[in-house]
Structure 1
Amino acid sequence: MKAFVAKSTLFAAALFLTQGAALAGQQDFTIVNKTGYPLKHIFVSESKSNSWDEDVLGRDVLNDGEEFELSFGKSESTCKWDMKVAYDDGETAVWENLDLCKISKLTLKWNKNTGVTSALKE
């Protein structure tokens, strides 16, 4: 399993601040929740993996309007990742083959007319 550090926890934040650039990977990105609803889980795994890695939010929830920064270890070389988000009601959205070496921010939006969660890549 590829390791990554979520800066949402105090320990990870302290670790990132103390080691800074030593931990920074080219795949680091920010998730912005503009869905109108809290996100209960976010999973990020290497593309073509048969399972999801652990929930990067841990015990936290990403409320509407909040951002979450995800940092990878400097030694991580994989660029293609899949991401899955889950709402409180169990509904999910999945994106495959995200090139995190070229994406710095994903803004998630939910369309109430179509029921689809989209991701604007920056």
Structure 2
Amino acid sequence: MKSLALTLVLLVGSLSPMVAQSKLDFTLKNDTGVVIAEVYVTPNHSDDWEDDIMGKDVLPNGDSVDITFSRTEKTCNWDLKIVDERDEEIEWTELDLCTASHITLQYKGKKATAIIK
């Protein structure tokens, strides 16, 4: 009986990293100097930005929002695009969402950078 319980604990423990890896949740902080009206996240190899994940909400400069989503793609590298309140687009490419829990977007001098933690 003890060996069955240990086997179940080991099996459940080994599944947890796989479940965690499929979730790509992160906190997004806006340090761009603009109000973010739309956010798009897509696998790095995709040509389609798909849907705005902000919906009707906006993200003022200096604020943060929790981004929650799970995807079936087996990639860690994702691209992120924002559209600001003046309909200007800014893109960040190859963000590693498998290891990121907090992403701070910056945009200074027409250069887009991201601090990933």
Q: Which runs of 4+ in 1 moved over 6 A?
A: none
Corresponding letter in the other structure for 1:80: N
C-alpha contact (below 8 Å) 2:25/2:67 kept by paired residues: yes
Corresponding letter in the other structure for 1:37: V
Cα offset, 1:24, TM superposition:
8.7
RMSD over aligned Cα atoms:
2.3
Aligned length: 99
**Bigger share in helix:** 2
Return the index of the structure with the highest Cα Rg.
2
Counterpart for residue 52 of structure 1: 49
Tell me, yes or no, if structure 1 residue 38 matches structure 2 residue 35.
yes
Q: Deviations over 1:59-94 (max 9, x none)?
A: 111111211111223866432211101111222211
Higher mean displacement: 31-40 or 89-98: 89-98
Counterpart for residue 15 of structure 1: none
For normalisation by structure 1, the TM-score amounts to: 0.69
For normalisation by structure 2, the TM-score amounts to: 0.71
| Long gaps (5+) in structure 1 | 1-21
Counterpart for residue 115 of structure 1: 110
| Long gaps (5+) in structure 2 | 1-18
